A and B are shown apart, each in its own frame.
Chain A
Amino acid sequence: MNDKAKNVIITFIFLTFLIVFFVVNLLKPESEISISERRKLAKLPTLTTKSLIKGTFTKQFDQYTTDQILYREEFRKLKSLIEFNVFNKKDNNNMYMYEGSIIKIENPLNEKSVLNVANKINKIKEKYLTNCKVYYTIIPDKNYFTNEEEYIRMDYDKLENIMEENIKECEYINIFNDLKLADYYLTDIHWRQENLQKVLDTISTKMGFKNRLQTDYTKVDIVDFEGLYAGQLPIKTDKDTISILSNNIVEAATVYNYETQRESKVYDLTKIDSNDKYDIYLSGAVPLITITNSQSNTDEELIIFRDSFGSSLAPLFIEAYNKITLIDIRYIRTELLENYIEFNEQDVLFMYSTLIINNSSILK
């Protein structure tokens, strides 16, 4: 091709692309949400004199054009592809792939945040749990299982030490050695319920209810699952499957949601079509629920202060208790708990993932 022809072709292709892309973007209907990123997309901002003068309109318009661009997902995938395959980057926006699993870098250790969790537990214990046997456990995030020399990760030993040194009169249940990377979903932050037998054994032994867990579980595969991380790191990965462990006791148990004042089952199969299918376990993020075991042979009660990891573990405790109360203090202030719960001699378990412990400002 000679220079003249090249110049005409470059001009033609570039201008055509720009103009066609402009027109199509203009005509394209607005998308409401990005399913992969689990967030609402920016909408065309309203133009007012005030917003124009303050500059908020133009900022929002920039966000709008970026959010609503045609082939947004494909562009995000292209970026991931270039980051890993051309630039040989080890992560893309702090997300990386390790042994087929998508992981988000969590570093550095926020010591103040860890101390905040320890103090929070102490305060709750002091206020409500003076007559209770109190335990706590720490759930490692997926970074813990990566090669220390290859990837950066927080100082997990230090996190444990800060918790142990500062939490008073609570027994620590160490489950770090009961888990491995394969026990977590490939595309999500959470662990797989069907892989928690070792964790269940350790916790139930330490808390003394292992002998009350008699009935075996049946594993049922429910639905294919693309977790939160699949959207955040748009590269090709194997799909996960949500499975549930069930038996007649779990099936008969009822869940009461204090917020909606409704009863439901332990496994909420209406969430199969939701954006986050992990919500099948105890209906997802809720401030306060109780699970009542209608076939219980015991009066024992358990209170769990937990994050979302607890949703898939708690159902495995049901046989051992008459009632389990699950409290998520990300969504309810601790001062309000006495309005709903009568604290007396229940077993109490605090279980938080290292991700929450390292970012604890969200705990109320």
Chain B
Amino acid sequence: MLFSSISFLYYFLPCVLIIYFCTPKKFKNIILLLSSLLFYFYGEPVYILVMIGSIISGYIHGLLIDKYKKYKKVFLITSITISLGLLILFKYSNFIIDNINSIFNAKFALLNLALPIGISFYTFQILSYVIDVYNEKVAVQKSIIKLATYVSLFPQLIAGPIVRYSDIEKELSNRTHSFENMALGIRRFVIGLAKKILIANQLGEISNIFLQTDETSVISYWMYGIAFCLQIYFDFSAYSDMAIGLGKMFGFHFLENFNYPYISKSITEFWRRWHISLSTWFRDYVYIPLGGNRVGKLKLLRNIFVVWCLTGIWHGANWTFIIWGLMFGILLIIEKIFLLKALDKIPKIFRHIYVLFVVMISFIIFNATDIRQAIYQIKGLFGINGETIINSYTLYYLKSYLVIFIIAIIGSTPLLKNIIEKLKQRSKINKIINLFEPIAIMALLLISTAYLVDNSYNPFLYFRF
């Protein structure tokens, strides 16, 4: 089920809210678990069994690691093998078979299994729980209801953020509900909804228009690159906003997943601000166990290489994702060796341009069907394909989507947030803002509903990961 759908907004959510808040405290987790399973079943009626199987595996392995400490390594390995095995089977089997066939000229049949929605997210959550139990960072969860509620919690189930068990361990047992939390959650959810429907979807339309047209021009490639960069940010951060907002409504506090990544002045900083839950996951569960920074140069290079290869392939079974990840790995190594220091010496504006350009190129690779298409599009940015600088087709869509671009660019910076926060420091203006806030929230909800009723373009990009 999509957050940005009428069935979620006006059927599922009100029902869950009514039942949840009418239920005594001790049964609230069961209500959340059942709602989450229904939420998942709605979109994946068959593969829900894969998720339930993964949860049961994680639960049993957690208990075994806790009970039989002598053999805990064995149980950790079996748990990781089962979780990653399922992920590899569903997500990477075709990719592996295809590459084996290409390299060895073999003819193994592809499995063509459909990718269960959210498998990458819930697998990583289960892994983090089991590894944390193994490292004794968290106590084992003896209630399968609580563990299943954690993994399947519908606000973050299918597109993150990757919530650590340790982050919500206490809230699974004891959480408070307040008007403040509820109102903050509602505001965050509606802002996320509007970001998704009013901005990300529109940027998605323009990306697709330029991706599918034959009437290309140099400017159209730039518009595509910029639009896709903004789309993926607004799409994914909107989902995180909605997840965090819904979490708050039900008394959970998820960590932030984005922190205005496009204001970064280096790629190192970009990855501290982009998909924070994934990069910190790889840092804590892959990079640091491999030795992190405290190793020799060669091992350090290996660690970075492994982490970024995995980051790339986590996003999808395609060489474009691996190259995308490795590209960032190489850039981070270069920045570590000398570039960060060099960047410090140049004006801020050039540092921003460097980050934005690199990120745009990376997302062109990310969104390409194959390397050839990515190279063709990157060449198009510089007019190497022989297209005109601009044509009437490009001009039409540039004019038509100009306001969306401007809103999206401003919205990807903390400018508006900072202005509002500054104004709120004055008590009189704060009172006026408070007066308008409920009106603005309801207006955004109604406008987003209007777009949902009339729009056909509404996919979430991160559902495929």
Hey, which bits of chain A sit against chain B, CB under 8 A? Answer: 1-11, 13-15, 17-19, 21-22, 25, 52-55, 58, 61-62, 65-66, 69, 72, 75-76, 78-80, 82, 86-91, 93, 107-108, 148-152
Contacts and interface: CB of A to CB of B under 8 A. Distances in A.
A6 B183 contact: yes
A3 B399 CA distance: 41
8 contacts: A3-B430, A10-B441, A13-B441, A18-B9, A18-B13, A80-B454, A89-B403, A89-B404
A360 B388 CA distance: 31
Contacts of B42: 58
A1 B436 CA distance: 10
A82 B214 CA distance: 30
Contacts of B180: 3-4, 7
A3 B18 CA distance: 25
Of the candidates B213, B434, B450, the one having the most CB atoms from chain A within 10 angstroms of its own CB is B450
Contacts of B449: 69, 75
Contacts of A86: 403
The 6 A-B residue pairs with the shortest CB-CB distance in the complex, in nearest-first order = A7-B183, A90-B400, A78-B450, A22-B14, A6-B434, A10-B183
B185 to A, nearest CB: 9
A17 B434 contact: no
Contacts of A61: 7
Interface in B29-48: 42-43, 45-46
A52 B45 contact: yes
B431 interface: yes
B74 interface: no
Contacts of B45: 52-55, 58
Interface string B171-185: 000000011101110
B437 interface: yes
B15 interface: yes
Nearest to B189: A14
Contact of B441 (A14, A65, A107, A149): A14
B441 A93 contact: no
Given A8-B179, A69-B6, A69-B10, A79 B454 contact: yes
Contact of A14 (B10, B186, B400, B450): B186
B259 interface: no
B392 A78 contact: no
Given A11-B182, A69-B10, A108 B215 contact: yes
B453 interface: yes
B451 interface: yes
B438 A13 contact: yes
A67 B451 CA distance: 13
A148 B392 contact: yes
Nearest to B178: A7
B450 A152 contact: no
Nearest to B44: A55
A22 B11 contact: yes
B346 interface: no
Given A19-B18, A149-B392, A66 B453 contact: yes
A1 B435 contact: yes
Given A91-B400, A108-B215, A151-B396, A6 B450 contact: no
B443 to A, nearest CB: 10
A90 B396 contact: yes
A14 B186 CA distance: 8
B412 interface: no
Contacts, number: 142
B452 interface: yes
B350 interface: no
Contact of B17 (A15, A58, A91): A15
Nearest to B430: A3
B214 A108 contact: yes
Contacts of A72: 453
A105 to B, nearest CB: 9
B182 A152 contact: no
Nearest to B43: A58
A10 B187 contact: yes
A76 B453 contact: yes
A271 B34 CA distance: 53
B445 interface: yes
Contact of B15 (A22, A69, A89): A22
A53 B43 CA distance: 10
Nearest to A81: B450
Contacts of B384: none
B367 interface: no
B46 A53 contact: yes
A168 to B, nearest CB: 29
Given A18-B13, A65-B10, A75-B453, A1 B431 contact: yes
B387 to A, nearest CB: 15
Contacts of A66: 5-6, 452-453
Nearest to A76: B454
A17 B396 contact: no
B51 to A, nearest CB: 15
Contacts of A148: 392
A7 B399 contact: no
A69 B404 CA distance: 27
Contacts of A19: 14, 17-18
Contacts of B455: 79
Of the candidates B5, B182, B442, the one having the most CB atoms from chain A within 10 angstroms of its own CB is B182
Nearest to A149: B392
A255 B403 CA distance: 53
Contacts of B187: 10
B292 to A, nearest CB: 43
B281 interface: no
A152 B14 contact: no
Nearest to A73: B453
Contacts of B13: 18
A14 to B, nearest CB: 5
B439 to A, nearest CB: 9
A90 to B, nearest CB: 4
Contacts of B7: 58, 61-62, 65
A89 B186 contact: no
A34 to B, nearest CB: 11
A198 to B, nearest CB: 29
Contacts of A13: 438, 441-442
B375 interface: no
Contact of B11 (A14, A65, A108): A65
Of the candidates B179, B437, B451, the one having the most CB atoms from chain A within 10 angstroms of its own CB is B179
A25 B438 contact: no
A178 to B, nearest CB: 26
Contacts of B213: 108
A75 B448 CA distance: 9
Contacts of A11: 179, 182-183, 186
A60 to B, nearest CB: 11
A5 B46 CA distance: 46
Contacts of A93: 454
B354 interface: no
A21 B15 CA distance: 11
B392 A62 contact: no
B401 interface: yes
B111 interface: no
Contacts of B392: 148-149, 152
A44 to B, nearest CB: 12
Given A75-B446, A76-B454, 7 more contacts: A18-B9, A19-B14, A54-B45, A75-B449, A76-B453, A79-B447, A108-B214
